[in-house]
Amino acid sequence: MKKLLGLLVLSLSFINAEAQNDETILEMWYGEINNTDVAKHLELEKVYFTKFHKQRIANGDILGWDMWEIINPEVNAMTTTYIYVSLVKDFETIGKNTPIEKLEGVSKEDWEAGLEKAMSHYIRSYGVTTSIKGSYGTQEENGPSNYAVINYMEVDPYQTAAYEKMEIETFLPMFKDQKIRNGWALHKVLNHFGSEKPINYITADFYSSLQPIYESRNGSIAMNEADTKFWKSIDAIRTLKKSHILRKVLSVR
């Protein structure tokens, strides 16, 4: 019976994706490098890869590209992890990569050498593809705010419709009215599935500075019975597994 229910959830997921294939997609690529390589790596990103992604936009492969640094890693491993985010128009455009052999103002030899050097810096990498289920103020056309918080959620697979409705109909307008965040988005993870990879949603909060992030976390919680009941009902649907604070490094539109 459990196996049958699992197959049903997987089938419903495919049906839902087929019915909503016009949603904007985010391709997130996590790359970890040694701190000793950071300065040189950032130089390569600025000199070569901003031009590379500008060309990808011109080719129609992506709508925009952002580079973020995780500033609250789980452990101090003497490494830095960057998240490279490509904004993709829709499902049909996922994975579209028009060959780029030369960059404007850069010789083919220099570009190939720069690409090889940059790739040699990565000691670990990880990719996540998501769809944007709902958002406001994410500045997709002009680039995002300077800081962001991304929360990794484990949502009951049998309650995903209820969870999306709760986030979009309750939290989106509430955050918008509070005016603490510059923007917010709900993402559904598309390329990881199963009990060993339980993160199936990501929320993103955008801020101009670190101050409101730390101020919101510094407060103490005191709730009445009704509020406590409400939040516990949410906890029954989803669990916040971890949270990253990000600093924007580069943005290309």
Q: What is the CATH number of the domain that holds 168?
A: 3.30.70.100
Beta carbons within 8 Å of 29's beta carbon, 6+ residues apart: 83, 84, 85, 86, 125, 126, 127, 128
* Residue range(s) defining the domain that contains residue 74: 20-252
Contact 205, 216 (CB under 8 A): no
Q: What is the pTM of this model?
A: 0.87
Q: Look at residue 20 and give its three-state secondary structure.
A: coil
Tell me how far apart the alpha carbons of residues 87 and 27 are, in angstroms, rounded to a whole number.
7
Asked if the structure places residue 147 within a domain, the reply is yes
pLDDT digits (tens, 9 = 90+) for 64-123: 999 999 999 887 779 999 999 999 999 999 989 899 888 989 999 999 999 999 999 999
The count of structural domains within the chain is: 1
Asked if the structure places residue 121 within a domain, the reply is yes
Asked if the structure places residue 13 within a domain, the reply is no
CA 148, 151, 157 angle in degrees (round to 5)?
Answer: 145
Residue 210: what residue type? Answer: L
Asked if the structure places residue 1 within a domain, the reply is no
Asked if the structure places residue 75 within a domain, the reply is yes
Asked if the structure places residue 191 within a domain, the reply is yes
Number of helices (H), then strands (E), in the chain: 8, 8
pLDDT digits (tens, 9 = 90+) for 180-211: 999 999 999 999 988 788 999 999 999 999 99
Asked if the structure places residue 201 within a domain, the reply is yes
Q: How far is CA 127 from CA 27, 31, 227, 229, in A?
A: 7, 9, 37, 36
Asked if the structure places residue 9 within a domain, the reply is no
